[in-house]
Amino acid sequence: MSKIFVPTVMLFSLLAVTPVMGRAHAATGAGNSACWTSDPGDEERPEITCRDLSEATLKALENKTSKEIVQFFGVPGKEHKPTHFEGMDNSTGRYSGNVDLTYVHGRVRAIDALVAQAQADGSASEMVRFIWNPEKNRICSDFPQSRNRCPDE
């Protein structure tokens, strides 16, 4: 099974159960109350953010401290650790998906994201990969304007 298949399945699984676990809706900004409504009895979802997960947003995470990351996203991250976030802004043209961060000496040193862009008809674009890991010489992006595409895995 390819490495890109597993996160894609996980993302689509998350989106498939969203109505049961809460409701994602269009909104902007940090935090999650603007784009996420928990249903009564739902588990806490501290990893959900309303930030657009565009290429510019992902690049802005490079070398940030965990405190800066939490301030940027407005939520603490999955299990209250700033290592995994899920963007849920369904506004047309914005990117939603998963972002995983790795820290070295207190700063983000690797970013691995798999996102899709919300379309005007309510559908999502094909998945877009973004990897920034200079220590492993892996820097690529499948965003439309990128020149350094991620290899198929």
Tell me, yes or no, whether 100 lies in a domain. yes
Nearest to 142 by CA among 131, 128, 153: 128
Q: Is the pLDDT of residue 16 over 70?
A: no
15-29, 60-74, 76-90, 116-130: segment of lowest average pLDDT: 15-29
The torsion angle over the Cα atoms of residues 60, 55, 45 and 68, rounded to 10 degrees, is: 0
Tell me, yes or no, whether 113 lies in a domain. yes
**In the chain, % of residues over pLDDT 90:** 54
Name the domain count of the chain. 1
Tell me, yes or no, whether 14 lies in a domain. yes
pTM, entire model: 0.76
Tell me, yes or no, whether 137 lies in a domain. yes
Element (H, E) at 59: helix 55-60
- Domain housing 34: 5-141
How big is the CA angle at 63 (ends 113 and 75), to the nearest 5 degrees? 60
